[in-house]
Amino acid sequence: MRQLAKIAMLTVAGALATVRKFFSGRRSLAQVTKSEDGTNEGVEKGLKHKFWTTAKYFAAFMVVMTLGGFLGAASGIIPIKASSGHWAITSWFLQFSKQRSVFTHTLGMASPSLDEPGLVLKGAGAYEMNCRACHGSPAVPYPRVAQHMTPRPPYLPSTIGNWEAEELFYFVKHGIKFTGMPAWPSRQRDDEVWAMVAFLQRFPSLNDDEYRHLVHGEVAVGGEAVSIDGLGGPEHPPSAVTTSCARCHGLDGLGRGLGAYPILAGQQARYLDLSLQAYAKGERHSGIMGPIAAGLSIEEKGELARYYSGLSKRSSSQNVPEAAAAIERGRAIAQQGIPSQRVPACVACHGPSDIPRNPIYPTLAGQYVDYLVLQLELFKNENRGGTAHAHLMRTVAPRLTPEQIRAVALYYAALESTRDHPLP
């Protein structure tokens, strides 16, 4: 300890000496600017000399301070324990830096419309899975373990109003250094981040019952066997369904009715299995599905795929507001393609067709409009991976206009999922 104290004293003494020299210098400005003939040449030389002298002492000061900081860290006397919390000045500085940084980095950013119920629903599921353990819920606002972190994660309903939607997006997508706040697991899925923002803005108005209904719907979770008579599948679903999957996709595989999540009931089992594998490997991007799939064994992935594939196919029961003409345009594209844009017919891979299809191509009939549009947009922007044949869609989707994408989605959504032939 005596040696450490001596090092600290020498460091402080050196820093003080450097500061003294920095402000005083060896000669005054008046002395160095005198010239025998009274011209400006002497003044200019004096100013240059003063500048370089100041720069030299400033550099020496910085070297001494850097060395002192390194010696302090090397000595181990700087505490890193979370139990001690931050000094008030440290907390203020970190908070001030955070506010200024997020303000600067969100300049010019525009928020999309966040009023869609499907967005709020998707964000709620993601919050329950990724955020509740630290930031709490109406039932448990301050989780016990999280409150011993430094800094403590705030209960968000009391702070959400302090930030704009764009700033919340920045926090969720990129995380915050020097805290336990991680970045979003997938940098390619801004749509998922905006869904989280949509939920966060709704969060302050929710009570416990409303929060539970938004997160879990009508599903009672907890790993217990749940009877699903009438769904056309096994009597008891795999445990992963009741503990995780049903929260978003439902026990019936219908995705809870708003298009936030896809319909899985009756989907190709091989496609579902390979999609889970792609999520787990990061080949299909999602900050929601990626962590879930990565925690499943190969056997569990196959079991889930068989369960949802074995459920009865059902229509999404959507009330599509667009006119029949848009559906007709979508049918023409799906059945004939668009030769002038080098877009092939969709039915060749996705049906409906009387010809047997590759089991790793998904069935689209009866799927939600918004979900289909989102997937095509992700392909178009090269933010969508998937099974071994996903690259085929990355060449097709960019050739479609937004209107054509919408028309194709409308056509497939309008198809009855219980049959495998086009609309009459």
Amino acid letter, residue 58: F
**Alpha-carbon dihedral 48, 52, 54, 59, rounded to 10 degrees:** 160
User: What does the block give as tokens for 329?
Assistant: 């345009």
Is residue 365 a contact partner of residue 417, using CB atoms and an 8 Å limit? Answer: yes
User: Is residue 419 over pLDDT 60?
Assistant: no
User: Is residue 354 over pLDDT 90?
Assistant: no
pLDDT, tens digit, 9 for 90 and up, residues 211-231? 999 998 865 434 343 444 444
- For residue 312, the model assigns a pLDDT of 86
Of the candidates 103, 129, 274, the one whose C-alpha atom is nearest the C-alpha of residue 192 is 129
Dihedral pair phi/psi, residue 22, rounded to 5°: -60, -40
Task: Delimit the domains of the chain by residue range.
Answer: 2-76, 114-216, 239-310, 324-414
Helices and strands, counts by H and E, the chain: 19, 0
Of the candidates 131, 112, 108, the one whose C-alpha atom is nearest the C-alpha of residue 184 is 131
The CATH code of the domain at 114-216 is 1.10.760.10
User: What does the block give as tokens for 1?
Assistant: 């300890």
Of the candidates 203, 224, 146, the one whose C-alpha atom is nearest the C-alpha of residue 179 is 146
- The answer to whether the 114-216 and 239-310 domains have the same CATH topology is yes
User: Is residue 38 over pLDDT 70?
Assistant: no
Residue 27, classed as helix, strand or coil, is: coil
Q: Give the DSSP H or E segment for 11.
A: helix 2-24
pLDDT, tens digit, 9 for 90 and up, residues 171-205? 999 999 989 899 999 999 999 999 999 999 999 99
pLDDT, tens digit, 9 for 90 and up, residues 372-414? 999 999 999 999 999 889 999 999 999 999 999 999 999 999 9
Q: How far is CA 36 from CA 4, 31, 49, 195, in A?
A: 53, 12, 17, 76
Mean pLDDT estimate for the chain: 85
Amino acid letter, residue 209: D
Report the distance separating Cα 307 and Cα 197, nearest Å.
32
User: Cα dihedral sign for 145, 147, 149, 154?
Assistant: positive
The residue to which tokens 């025998």 are assigned: 36
Q: N- to C-terminal Cα distance for the chain? A: 89
pLDDT, tens digit, 9 for 90 and up, residues 262-315? 999 999 999 999 999 999 999 999 999 999 999 999 999 999 999 999 998 765
User: Cα dihedral sign for 73, 79, 81, 82?
Assistant: negative
Orientation of helix 369-380 relative to helix 402-414, angle to 10°:
140
Of the candidates 31, 37, 66, the one whose C-alpha atom is nearest the C-alpha of residue 49 is 31
Report the Cα 260 to chain-centroid distance in Å: 16
Residue 239, classed as helix, strand or coil, is: helix
Report the distance separating Cα 135 and Cα 43, nearest Å.
63
- Reported as a pLDDT band with limits 50, 70 and 90, residue 242 is confident
- 239-310 belongs to which homologous superfamily? Cytochrome c-like domain (1.10.760.10)
Residues sharing a CB contact under 8 Å with residue 152, sequence separation 6 or more, in sequence order: 146
Report the distance separating Cα 308 and Cα 363, nearest Å.
13
Q: Is pLDDT larger for residue 124 or for residue 82? A: 124
Q: Does domain 324-414 have CATH number 3.30.56.10?
A: no
